[in-house]
Amino acid sequence: TTDHISPAGDISAKGPAGKYLREHQVPITEINSYGARRGNHEVMMRGTFANIRIRNHMLGPNGKEGGYTIHYPSKEETSIYDAAMQYKAEGVPLVIFAGVEYGNGSSRDWAAKGTNLLGVRAVIAQSFERIHRSNLVGMGVIPFVFEEGTTWASLGLKGDELVTIEGLEHIKPRERKIAKITYGDGSVKDVPIICRIDTLDEVVYVNNGGILQTVLRDLAA
pLDDT score of 53: 83
- Tell me the one-letter amino acid at 163: V
pLDDT score of 2: 78
pLDDT score of 60: 82
Number of domains in the chain: 1
Per-residue pLDDT of the chain (221 residues; tens, 9 = 90+): 777 898 888 888 889 999 999 999 999 999 988 888 988 999 999 999 988 888 888 888 778 888 899 999 999 999 999 999 999 999 999 999 999 999 987 767 899 999 999 999 999 999 999 999 999 999 999 999 999 999 999 999 988 999 999 999 899 999 999 999 999 899 999 999 999 999 999 999 999 999 889 999 888 87
76 near 101, Cβ under 8 Å? no
Instruction: Give the other-Cβ count within 10 Å of 93's Cβ.
Output: 13
Residue 207 lies in a domain: yes
Category of 140 on φ-ψ map: left (φ > 0), alpha (ψ -120 to 50) or beta: left
Residue 218 lies in a domain: yes
Q: Looking at the DSSP assignment, which residues form a beta bridge with residue 182?
A: 162, 188
CA-to-CA distance for 29 and 132, rounded, in angstroms? 33
Residue 166 lies in a domain: yes
195 near 177, Cβ under 8 Å? yes
CATH number of the domain bearing residue 132? 3.20.19.10
Q: Please report the sign of the dihedral spanned by the C-alpha atoms of residue 20, residue 24, residue 30, residue 35.
A: negative
Residue 82 lies in a domain: no
Helix (H, G, I), strand (E, B) or coil at 94: strand
Residue 135 lies in a domain: yes
Helix H segments across the chain?
2-5, 16-23, 41-47, 80-89, 109-117, 130-138, 200-208, 211-220
pLDDT score of 107: 60
Residue range(s) defining the domain that contains residue 203: 93-221
CA-to-CA distance for 90 and 98, rounded, in angstroms? 24
Q: What is the 3-state secondary structure (H, E, C) of 144-193?
A: EEECCCCCCHHHCCCCCCEEEECCHHHCCCCCEEEEEEECCCCCEEEEEE
Residue 66 lies in a domain: no
Residue 18 lies in a domain: no
pLDDT score of 54: 85
Residue 71 lies in a domain: no
pLDDT score of 106: 72
pLDDT score of 23: 92
pLDDT score of 112: 93
